[in-house]
């Protein structure tokens, strides 16, 4: 299907437009089948959208009790003595979703799922990786790396992570019938969730990712963690390969920091250096890809409309 780009005035307008797009997608899906499976993102980009969606659900515009959701990612290594404490840490994505979306709903979703990063003990993970270097390899051309655990590792702990933590999450999505509508943001280098720049698309369904030092330093400088010692060093994340298996993908982006990665994702050719650029391949294969972006994030796209037209990408200026 042709990629559709909706350019809005600002964050508020972007959130309103995106909410209408998502609501229509939910309603259409619920006409066809019993439940709608949503893929959800964290970060600043979807917060306004989630507030609108909660209001719509509470007003009865769609039935939230018929929705199941799967989040993109979760940290490994949050402070806490057990999984429950780690999941309810204020910086966990589980906690974020409760605060920004789930807790706003009068009628809760039928089921919500977040990657099982909180079940992993980071100290034991590091110990097992150091003790069994033959069990795994690092994949990626840049600072962020995917830790690929071999099919039959010697370490029972790494075998458990491969089978139950990574494979288990992918299997749960598959058993739910796949994701009907996936909401994503875009990182500063064109990454989605923790699928960092340089990590190949192939084999990126659900990944164990080693965070690069810049990600850790930014998390501390932004005030999310008091020091590097308390900042997670790993995460569990859906990769672009799984993200772009959804029937519809809605990408949100606002602000000048997103201008370049948004432009690179559509004006250039698909490349692992810009993971969201894989959306072009997704659309070529029939996927429904919709960008909802503000005028700052869309500036270069508006300046290069001829390139987009040649690619069959439709741009709608809502300014």
What CATH number does residue 148 fall under?
3.40.50.1360
Rounded distance between C-alpha atoms, residue 7 and residue 319, angstroms: 7
Rounded distance between C-alpha atoms, residue 156 and residue 147, angstroms: 16
Rounded distance between C-alpha atoms, residue 90 and residue 98, angstroms: 10
Q: Residue 29 has what pLDDT? A: 98
| Top-confidence residue, 110 or 217 | 110
Q: What is the greatest pairwise CA distance in the chain?
A: 57
The tokens for 166 are: 């990574």
Sign of CA dihedral 88, 163, 248, 43: positive
187-209 pLDDT tens trace: 888 999 999 999 999 888 999 99
253 backbone dihedrals φ, ψ, rounded to 5°? -155, 135
> Which residue segment(s) compose the domain that 40 sits in?
4-317
Instruction: Tell me how many domains the chain contains.
Output: 1
Q: Residue 221 has what pLDDT? A: 83
Reported residue count of the chain is: 319
- At residue 218, does pLDDT exceed 80? no
């Amino acid at each position: 299907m042709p990629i559709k780009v909706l350019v809005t005035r600002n964050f508020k307008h972007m959130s309103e437009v995106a909410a209408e797009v998502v609501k229509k997608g939910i309603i259409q899906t619920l006409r066809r089948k019993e439940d709608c499976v949503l893929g959800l993102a964290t970060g600043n980009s979807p917060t306004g959208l989630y507030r609108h969606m909660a209001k719509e659900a509470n007003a009865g515009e769609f039935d939230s009790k018929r929705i199941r959701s799967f989040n993109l990612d979760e940290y490994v290594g949050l402070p806490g003595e057990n999984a429950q404490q780690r999941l309810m840490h204020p910086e966990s994505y589980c906690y974020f979703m409760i605060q920004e979306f789930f807790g706003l709903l009068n009628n809760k979703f039928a089921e919500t799922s977040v990657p099982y990063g909180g079940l992993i003990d980071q100290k034991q993970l590091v110990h097992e990786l150091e003790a069994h270097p033959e069990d795994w390899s690092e994949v990626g051309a840049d600072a962020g790396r995917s830790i690929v655990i071999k099919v039959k590792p010697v370490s029972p702990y790494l075998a458990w992570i491969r089978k139950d933590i990574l494979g288990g999450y992918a299997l749960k999505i598959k058993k739910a019938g796949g994701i009907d509508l996936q909401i994503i943001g875009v990182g500063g280098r064109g990454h989605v969730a923790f699928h960092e720049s340089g990590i190949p698309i192939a084999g990126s369904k659900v990944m164990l990712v080693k965070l690069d030092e810049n990600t850790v330093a930014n998390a501390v400088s932004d005030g999310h963690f008091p020091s590097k010692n308390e900042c997670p060093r790993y995460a569990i994340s859906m990769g672009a390969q799984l993200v772009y298996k959804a029937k519809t993908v809605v990408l949100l982006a606002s602000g000048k920091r997103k201008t370049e990665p948004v432009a690179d994702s559509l004006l250039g050719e698909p490349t692992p250096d810009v993971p969201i650029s894989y959306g072009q391949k997704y659309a070529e294969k029939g996927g429904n890809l919709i960008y909802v972006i503000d005028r700052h994030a869309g500036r270069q796209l508006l300046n290069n409309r001829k390139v987009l037209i040649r690619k069959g990408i439709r741009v709608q200026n809502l300014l």
